[in-house]
Amino acid sequence: MKYMILIHGDESQEAQMTEAEGMQLMTEYMKFGEELEKAGAYLGSERLRPVSTATTVRVREGKTLTTDGPFAETKEQLGGYYLIEAPSLDQALEWAAKVPSARTGSVEVRPIWPEDEYLPQ
Amino acid sequence: MSQVTSEAVERVFRAESGAILATLLRVLKDFDLAEEVLQDSLVAAMETWPRGGIPDNPGAWLTTTARNRAIDRRRKNQNTVRVMPLLVPEEEIAEAPCGEDAVNTAWSTDFGDDRLRLIFTCCHPSLNRDAQIALTLKTLGGLQTEEIARAFLLTPASLAQRLVRAKRKIREAGIPYRIPEADELGERLPPVLHVLYLIFNEGYVGTTSADLLREDLCQEAIRLTRVLHALMPGEAELRGLLALLLFQNARRLARTSESGDPILLEDQDRSRWNRAEIEEAKQLLQGLDSRAGPYTVQAAIAGCHSTARSAKDTDWAQILKLYDALWKLHPTDVVALNRTVALAQVHGWERALKETDALETRLRHYLYFHSTRADFLRRLGRTGEARRAYETALGLTKNESELRFLRSRLEECE
């Protein structure tokens, strides 16, 4: 099965990191990515720029409303994701626990909805 | 041949159904299909057993029948398989035990392991507590949906909905049927134990459902804990939990008067306690570190009460020590409150009252905080304050027997 691992964290805390701490975290992420690839579980991943760079768009009655910022103000912000392949939720959760930011923020695991199951049965 | 009634068929079916469902799930990996073919096998048994008698191994008979129905249904569904959201990959469905050899390997029935797999699935941490309880009772228990719904004050429709949602999550999120590895048990066993404990507790203190039903829940919790303990005999907390449930259940008959009013432990007729259950629980605790975990400590506390010849003979100093240990493992306000009862016996009402008062801000809305406090005040002769505490407690319950008990205590403070 495919799962998306969504990484949420407090951006303001991350911004306060020293350069050494930042480097350390990056090294950990690189190791995590390598481990995923070696296990054949890696499908893709990206890191997102902070929510201060976010723009939210809504179309209502044909009109486009563009606003500054994320769609919701929350204590922890979505900062990146991994798309992985895992035999079951248990293995996906194991990978999630290995995400370096799981120690400081929250990691959400969502199963990917397969295309051939979009239509209601 | 003796007459086989439909009640007899149903009784056998109930006893076997949890294990059979577990096996069906392991192979089919599809809750709905497993439940459908299990039901089919009951229908088949209803048709054939009254004529031919109950087979020597009814579990195997039912499993084989259900298996054949599953193969039939899958064959019929081969064409529609593409649009069916099954957990099993298609090639596995194609292979799904059709040839005789494949059938025998895949369907080798190790009921024990299957049930273990299933209980860990039902109590998976990614399901919420209500879903865990409902699934465990529905899939492994011998209770019908209507009975479970009544026991938890739900309409059968809303319970069914809860089950449907839980099963959907198992399928769509890919919650596996597997026994966790040894290094995962630290995280995965506690929710299982908690669910078993809650099922028992609902039967033991549940205040609204019918008495017989409550007894069923207790029996069911004990039965499942026994099964689990037999499968994982090395797990100390599991042994502790079984001992705790047995100690509690042993007091069932002595706990209430004929009119249904609760009788306090110190006033219970100890000859009405179930000796066999107490003995079994004592055996279980033997050789177990009484501080192994919260259930084991609570079992040791229950054991102190159960083995005291009279209320006066109770080893309160030991109980207090155990409460201190419990507090270290599980520091909750309710544990702190229960500890004050032992504290009162060892160090007096004054000190117990002082420690109870310290819990007020957090337990202000908790009935037993006020009733415990009222009891200490009453024994200290501070009747005015005791009255007020009983009055507050009265405002926090709607349960008839609790109301009667509190009112009678209030009258003693006149």
pTM over 0.90: no
Interchain contact B85–A (C-beta under 8 A): yes
Average pLDDT over residues B81-109: 43
Our CA-based measurement puts residue B170 at a distance from the nearest CA of chain A, in whole angstroms, of: 9
Q: Tell me if A117 and B85 make a contact (CB, 8 A cut-off).
A: yes
Query: Is residue B101 domain-resident?
Result: yes
Our CA-based measurement puts residue A88 at a distance from the nearest CA of chain B, in whole angstroms, of: 5
Query: Is residue B348 domain-resident?
Result: yes
Query: Is residue B128 domain-resident?
Result: no
Find chain B residues with C-beta within 8 A of A86's C-beta.
Answer: 174
Kindly indicate whether the domain formed by A2-52+73-114 is annotated with CATH number 3.20.20.70.
Answer: no
User: CA nearest B85 in A: which residue?
Assistant: A117
Q: Going by C-beta distance under 8 Å and a sequence separation of 6 or more, which residues neighbour residue B142?
A: B14, B15, B17, B18, B220
Say what angle helices B294-307 and B316-329 make with each other, to 10 degrees.
170
- Residue matched to tokens 């369907």: B107
Question: Of B292, B364, B302, B294, whose CA–CA distance to B333 is shortest?
Answer: B364
Query: Which of B58, B73, B108 is a domain's end point?
Result: B108
Ranges of each domain in chain A: 2-52+73-114
Q: Tell me if B178 and A88 make a contact (CB, 8 A cut-off).
A: yes
Query: Is residue B77 domain-resident?
Result: yes
Q: Tell me: the pLDDT tens digits for B168-195?
A: 999 999 999 888 888 888 889 999 999 9
Q: Which DSSP state fits B364?
A: T
Q: What percent of chain B has pLDDT over 70?
A: 89
Element (H, E) at A12: helix A11-15
Query: Is residue B313 domain-resident?
Result: no
State how many domains chain B has.
2
Query: Is residue B317 domain-resident?
Result: no
pLDDT at B111: 59
Q: Tell me: the pLDDT tens digits for A43-102?
A: 999 999 999 999 999 999 999 999 998 888 889 999 999 999 999 999 999 999 999 999
Residue B378 sits at the vertex; the CA angle it makes with B373 and B382, to the nearest 5 degrees, is 100
From the candidates A3, A4, A90, A93, which should be mutated to test the interface with B, based on the most B CB atoms within 10 A? A90
The CATH number of whichever domain residue B370 belongs to comes to: 1.25.40.10
Given CA atoms B210, B213, B215, B221 in this order, what sign does their dihedral have? negative
What's the complex ipTM?
Answer: 0.87
Q: Return the CA Rg of chain B.
A: 25
Query: Which of B108, B134, B156 is a domain's end point?
Result: B108
Confidence of residue B220 (pLDDT cuts 50, 70, 90): confident
The mean of the pLDDT values for chain B is 85
Domain of B386 in residue numbering reads as: 332-414
d(C-alpha B128, C-alpha A13), whole Å: 31
Q: Tell me: the pLDDT tens digits for B315-368?
A: 999 999 999 999 999 999 999 999 999 999 999 999 999 999 999 999 999 999
Confidence of residue B1 (pLDDT cuts 50, 70, 90): very low
Query: Is residue B217 domain-resident?
Result: no
Query: Which of B58, B88, B108 is a domain's end point?
Result: B108
Tokens (6 digits) for B129 = 């507590």
d(C-alpha B28, C-alpha B23), whole Å: 9
Residue B150: pLDDT above 90?
Answer: no
Find chain A residues with C-beta within 8 A of B178's C-beta.
Answer: 88, 90
